Structure 1
């Protein structure tokens, strides 16, 4: 164990076998110490970044029917919706009035909307001047399947219409055994990676995520992180990694696994362990985000000592996690107070981690 700790503090890369040994043997304090060492090496200044944005889910109609999702509506459900342009414009203007610099644009895998619909939506949104961080890999694969075009052709058309960057949604666990059980209609692990690699090749930056704490094994968590690290070695296209635990309430997966008592949420202890292990293993990722949306503000503060250097988004609007019964909300001022109280300097950023403005200007 000490040899692994020495490697980490020396800035050396650990192997998959060493990752599994840490996951099995290291205690929370040891993991926090090692992850914090990695964080300080990559970010020697005590700055914690955040972005002001809004999650816009343009439709909740979805054919994927993922068992872990409490948000989607089946195509035949009369309560399913597609946002109008008027609704989109209202949400974007409200975001900009709050200092927002981007929107996170994602939706269900709608069976009937053509690629032209998404191109038109992008052009309409882009006219407002806001950064569009949109369409996770499963959506891109869905667009390619419906249109008969390659993933690269779809991405090129979306970029031409205004898409700026791609979120890491839909990764869940990048293991086909897990994906076949959770979401058999969603893209495979290889397809998810291929979308991201193509995007990086075209010059787009993306984020990466992991939803853990359901049916996956530790070996499958490692497979997920290894795939991400390998791709980052090839492209350097990921800006950040965001891990969060599965939120079981109101989901078919929780009901199927625990029909009587419900499925237990991953603890804050389990979250901090996974966060630290991710920071340690993903040595080629510059940034790791805390997940206050699922963990709440106090655990998010603790995350800053377990490898996270970014507080994520203000999440002016968030619907998917909220559908699972989790309703944490933070304003920009609250995020800045939480970061300051933890002993760090808050800094608003853009998607690519460019600072928005100097702190002295913000405080005036």
Structure 2
């Protein structure tokens, strides 16, 4: 059973928060909004850390070795926050050949990686057989590699592209997803979550599925026994109440998955990861910051806050400049948002730190603000980095960040089972004699060749080159 609710409780009272951290009390949207705005950030972080320790213990924090393979950048959607998509006729539009993709999986397996995260644009030129053949080949050649692939927006477009039988969206999704599951799909990533509030989603996610379709896709995956993750991209036109509404929908649908499906081996959301919008090279990035545009009155609420409602019912006409100004999230806003997510999402096992967007040191601090997982030693990533983010860490650096935060680093798999706990002298970070020589490298090395379809990628630090 979910924890009890007490809407009348003073959420700033340490005794009340002790119950929240222990999993005995569930916070309401109104209480979460008050926590975000009124609690000092360090105190908020301590309570989120207390909740994390209740769930995961005080000793170990984890990471995974995977490869993020973006198999195509051709996309039918026109999201304003995306710098990755192409129409298909540009010189840098691409779709990876299966042989090239399999080579990438082989490179991952060779370094002890356990998972591929495979997502891409929504490419109408690719038939269902392309995906099924690819999944079968991956599982045939690399049976131990976990395939974590195809976000809900991709599945919704699969329905449109392939027109499978079924009277409802869920039935159509089940038809396609079951075939992919049988071909080798293991779990589904939470990409495309963005912000669920309709007023925001209609502004930034042009051509992308709505929240109901996103959540329905994950429900079908859970019914088929697959675990998934949930995500949120914030720090753009949304209000703080929109973020909490997003948390609430994830929590509600997770409650249903646990109640309805867990007894029969069904899936659930295993993790939640939030990251701030990266503006470089994106249409949304050209929108002025709040306060930088002419006529902005900083004594009045940010347009997103004026529109946002905790139930997601805000309308764009509630503020004349909604969508015309952004409020970017810095380190403190990121940590505050993550801490509230840890306290709010009492039924989600793991909260992931987003060092890819925030950098290694904020990612490290996030381990004291409710995060228990540092995500991936990332061999490859193209979507976020196309918007200007280039942080890249190898396994040694990631382990040191975790250890210096006061925890034992451990490699995990997709189900959060521990594979290696790094306690001895053979730990990746303890094999480095001279840390002064270690530097993180840029994730992407841009080329001047117009026919390049891929970008040079590395997980090595300079002393490994």
**Cα shift at 1:97:** 1.4
Listed one character per residue, the Cα deviations across residues 1-54 of structure 1 (whole Å, up to 9, x for unaligned) are 216434424431111110111112112012111101111111123100110001
CA distance in 2, matches of 1:264, 1:228: 24
Residue correspondence of structure 1 range 158-237 to structure 2 within 5 A:
158-236=180-258, 237=268
Contact 2:235 2:326 in 1 (8 A): no
Listed one character per residue, the Cα deviations across residues 220-258 of structure 1 (whole Å, up to 9, x for unaligned) are 111110010011111140111101111111110111445
Matching residue of 1:252: 283
* Structure 1 residue ranges without an equivalent (≥5): none
CA distance in 2, matches of 1:266, 1:17: 21
CA distance in 2, matches of 1:256, 1:35: 33
Q: What is the count of residue pairs matched by the alignment?
A: 364
Q: TM-score, normalised by structure 1?
A: 0.95
CA distance in 2, matches of 1:137, 1:120: 20
2:157 to 93, 117, 142: 142
The farther-off stretch of 71-80 and 55-64 is 71-80
SS of residue matched to 1:208: strand
Residue correspondence of structure 1 range 307-318 to structure 2 within 5 A:
307-318=370-381
Say if 2:399 is the partner of 1:336: yes
Contact 1:7 1:14 in 2 (8 A): no
Cα 1:263–1:188 change in 2 (3 A) is closer
Matching residue of 1:8: 20
Matching residue of 2:347: 284
Say if 2:144 is the partner of 1:132: no
Matching residue of 1:240: 271
CA distance in 2, matches of 1:253, 1:193: 25
**Cα shift at 1:349:** 0.6
Greater CA radius of gyration, 1 or 2? 2
Matching residue of 2:71: 58
- Deviating beyond 6 angstroms after TM superposition, the runs of 4 or more aligned structure 1 residues are 259-264
Q: TM-score, normalised by structure 2?
A: 0.75
- What is the CA RMSD across the aligned residues, in angstroms? 1.9
**Cα shift at 1:147:** 1.1
CA distance in 2, matches of 1:358, 1:254: 41
**Cα shift at 1:61:** 0.5
CA distance in 2, matches of 1:47, 1:267: 27
CA distance in 2, matches of 1:285, 1:160: 27
Contact 1:238 1:285 in 2 (8 A): yes
CA distance in 1, matches of 2:216, 2:96: 29
Matching residue of 1:30: 43
**Cα shift at 1:324:** 0.9
CA distance in 1, matches of 2:42, 2:405: 18
Residue correspondence of structure 1 range 87-98 to structure 2 within 5 A:
87-98=100-111
Contact 1:39 1:279 in 2 (8 A): yes
**Cα shift at 1:94:** 1.2
Question: Which gives a bigger RCO, structure 1 or 2 (Cα 8 Å, sep 6+)?
Answer: 1
Matching residue of 1:100: 113
Matching residue of 1:349: 412
Question: Normalized per residue, which structure has more helix?
Answer: 1
Say if 2:157 is the partner of 1:157: no
**Cα shift at 1:92:** 1.1
Matching residue of 1:86: 99
Contact 1:75 1:111 in 2 (8 A): no
CA distance in 2, matches of 1:293, 1:207: 17
Contact 2:281 2:387 in 1 (8 A): yes
Say if 2:80 is the partner of 1:67: yes
Say if 2:332 is the partner of 1:320: no
The farther-off stretch of 344-353 and 69-78 is 69-78
Contact 1:4 1:18 in 2 (8 A): no
**Cα shift at 1:358:** 4.8
